[in-house]
Amino acid sequence: MQSSGQDFRYAATCLLLLLSGVELRPHGWAGNRRQLETIQRGILDRLGLQEPPVLRQRLDQDGVRRARQLYREKLSQLRGNRSRAESQVAAPPRTLHLLTPKLERRTEASAGSSCYNLVLSRTEAFHQELSVMRAELRLFEKSLSTQDVSRLNASWPSRVEIYQLPEPGQRNGHPKLLHSYALDATTLSLDLGAAVRHWAVSAEQRLHLQLVFAADVSAFLATNRTSQGAETLNLVVETQEHLGSRPRKARALEEECRKSDGKCCLKSLKVSFQDIGWSDWVIAPNSYYMKFCEGSCPHNYKPASMHAQIKARMHTLSKETPAPCCVPAGYDPMVLMHYNSDGRLVSTLFEDMIVTKCHCA
């Protein structure tokens, strides 16, 4: 009797998670008949069906082709409506990040020039969900005077070449030239926008660059010496949140969760209507990616509100207070082309079917 009660509670939990857009990561879910029936029951309830429709007449190949074409048109119309709605929304505010990359001078530079390796580390505030608007590396505190230029013992304007270095330990890696700039006497900052923009959306925790100056600028660089004795420059990065929800590829989702060390993140699971035995009455899509939120919620990690921050801190002080939960923070709609109970082909729009991002609440 106790086992039956546990099974009922388990099935009820799976149904509630499905209807709310949150799905646990199942193990062998296709072979678990009880869990499969729970998922099927949840979808049928959302469609207003007591059971899968009994088809009196199936579409021929030409009819299926026309139905899928209609499905694609509805998707295109939906995306167009969302794009227009997003264009009317005010642009999100921009944020300035002051980063301090480490600077190491290389001794192999030729006479009259200077070469530096620059390493930039990612911070928690500078994450993959941000769009980089600009990234400027502060080179000099003030414009160079005529006397300063003469002390460089080089023709001016001078040039600087920016290379991307391979990751440490990467075999057969070679520096890749990204940009070459001409520096005049009034240049205070170096534009690293392209390099930082590419790094921001990657899964790499550090950016390795090399700066090669045609003049020896070591005496004029606006560097600071840290407690470890290394030199640093100031990098100002201006970022902006993405407009609207942008679907992410399954590989990117896996990389995000792999880097999160078990913290709250968005995962993805492919669901095939053929696998659950519904390919005869669900015309399109053939499958979809059920995205779900999973992971722990330590203090100040993706908080949904001030309440969530306080709740997380209270949990660290006393386990009597439950920790925040990793839950959906946004959704994308989904269109389902299917037969209804009357055997007619219809399309149903689910506004909150696909989770797009997670937070701790």
Considering 220, 241, 262, which residue would you say is the last residue of a domain? 241
How does pLDDT run along the chain (361 residues), one tens digit per residue? 444 444 444 444 444 444 444 344 444 444 456 656 666 777 788 888 888 887 777 778 788 888 888 888 877 777 766 666 655 555 667 788 888 888 888 877 677 788 989 998 887 777 666 788 889 988 887 777 777 777 766 666 678 899 988 877 666 678 888 888 887 777 788 889 888 888 887 777 888 999 998 888 887 887 776 655 567 888 888 888 755 434 444 455 555 677 768 889 888 877 778 877 888 888 888 888 878 888 999 888 888 888 988 888 888 888 888 999 999 998 888 888 888 888 888 888 888 878 888 999 9
Considering 218, 241, 264, which residue would you say is the last residue of a domain? 241
Residue-level pLDDT at 225: 65
Q: Which domain holds residue 169?
A: 94-241
How many distinct structural domains can be found in the chain? 2
Residue-level pLDDT at 360: 93
Question: Is 66 found in the same domain as 127?
Answer: no
Question: Is 227 found in the same domain as 99?
Answer: yes
Residue-level pLDDT at 301: 87
Backbone angles phi, psi at 198, to 5 degrees: -65, -40
Per-position b or e across 2-28, b if 16+ CB within 10 A of its CB: eeeeeeeeebeebeebbeebbbeebee
Question: Is 355 found in the same domain as 228?
Answer: no
In the block, tokens 């300035």 appear at 96
* Residue 1 covered by a domain: no
Question: Is 124 found in the same domain as 83?
Answer: no
* Residue 303 covered by a domain: yes
Q: Fill in the amino acid letter for 19.
A: L
CATH number for the domain that contains residue 49? 2.10.90.10
Token pair for residue 19?
């209807």
Question: Is 249 found in the same domain as 237?
Answer: no
Residue-level pLDDT at 83: 60
pTM metric for this prediction? 0.44
* Residue 14 covered by a domain: no
Question: Is 306 found in the same domain as 281?
Answer: yes
Encode the chain in three state secondary structure: CHHHHHHHHHHHHHHHHHHHCCCCCCCCHHHCHHHHHHHHHHHHHHHCCCCCCCCCCCCCHHHHHHHHHHHHHHHHHHHHHHHHHHHCCCCCCEEEEEECCEEEEECCCCCCCEEEEEEEECCCCCCCCEEEEEEEEECCCCCCCHHHHHHCCCCCCEEEEEEECCCCCCCCCCCEEEEEEEECCCCCEEECHHHHHHHHCCCCCEEEEEEEECCCCCCCCCCEECCCCCEECCEEEEEEECCCCCCCCHHHHHHHHHHCCCECEEEEEEEECCCCCCCCCEEECCEEEEEEEECECCCCCCECCHHHHHHHHHHHHCCCCCCCCEEEEEEEEEEEEEECCCCCEEEEEEEEEEEEEEEEC
List the one residue out of 36, 142, 49, 39 whose CA is nearest residue 340: 49
Question: Is 103 found in the same domain as 230?
Answer: yes
CATH number for the domain that contains residue 180? 2.60.120
Q: Do residues 199 and 167 make contact, with C-beta atoms less than 8 angstroms apart?
A: no
Question: Is 196 found in the same domain as 271?
Answer: no
Considering 241, 271, 300, which residue would you say is the last residue of a domain? 241
Question: Is 81 found in the same domain as 103?
Answer: no
Integer CA distances (angstroms), 81 to 88, 92, 219, 227, 331, in order: 11, 20, 57, 55, 15
- The whole-angstrom separation of Cα 238 and Cα 97 is 6
